[in-house]
Copies of this chain bind each other. A is one copy, B any other.
């Protein structure tokens, strides 16, 4: 399968269309765009059949991308408005799978000690949980209160335990009816870093063949529906460089200055070439805005409020 180097269905569809020179819709993929205002945009990608699955490497299901422009300079009001869109879209997904009072477990993936990966744990700290109150002091709660719990399981690199191994035991023990997973994603586009949120009711399915043994978190493995909220926080350095090459080659082609060798150089070859150059022994290099710390703080507010109003 093609290595999209992005977890966003929207970007994958665009890459697929470009790679195959498709102008119209792709079979098995329906898309829809809604502009809320100058800084908010909602894109819906529906994978409706196996052809769509194969085209973009994402399972059948709904993928909603909410784009928030200029989060860096967002006011409190902008954050509130963005969170309301998250609430609205998330609520629709939740209601497709469970009832108003059905219990929900919110899971924040990622590593609190690595800035671009800390979003999940930070959101968990802001979730309005009720499960312990329902158990120990139900009298303080409204009788319609939904049971909400939350956990931030850490990452394989610091726990030595697969996320699935941790979550499986918890889900079996506390039996939520739905799981919401927050995860930091890789994107293809630096404009999307900490300014897009992808909602999907298909869980998290690491791309086949990427050589990443991370086990999927889906209804298959956890036994209950899994809504994934993915937020791009990094772009691989090699992706940026490979994209730059593509642009250079375009330019030389436009100027009729290209040659056979360049014309035949494929997307994947460039990436592989660059990847070698950019991978010194031990590090995992990423491209990120210098302001990533404060962007993560703002995105945390958008996501946490979006969830809290959708589930409580």
Which residues of A are in contact with B by a Cβ distance under 8 Å?
70, 72-73, 76, 80, 112-117, 121, 124-125, 127, 129-133, 136, 147-154, 156-162, 165-166, 168-170, 172-174, 190-191, 193, 213, 234, 237, 240-245, 247-248, 251-252, 255, 257-262, 270, 273-274, 277-278, 280, 282-294, 305
CB pair B149 A159 closer than 8 Å = yes
What is the CA–CA distance of A147 and B294 in the complex, to the nearest angstrom?
Answer: 24
Which B residues are in CB contact (< 8 Å) with A162? 132
What is the CA–CA distance of A294 and B157 in the complex, to the nearest angstrom?
Answer: 14
What is the CA–CA distance of A51 and B173 in the complex, to the nearest angstrom?
Answer: 37
Identical chains in the assembly: 4
CB pair A252 B261 closer than 8 Å = yes
What is the CA–CA distance of A305 and B191 in the complex, to the nearest angstrom?
Answer: 28
What is the CA–CA distance of A172 and B168 in the complex, to the nearest angstrom?
Answer: 11
What is the CA–CA distance of A70 and B281 in the complex, to the nearest angstrom?
Answer: 9
Sorted nearest first, the 3 A-B pairs with minimum C-beta distance are: A169-B169, A131-B160, A257-B261
* Partner of A76 from B80, B243, B287 at Cβ < 8 Å: B80
What is the CA–CA distance of A258 and B259 in the complex, to the nearest angstrom?
Answer: 8
* Partner of A245 from B115, B191, B245, B292 at Cβ < 8 Å: B245
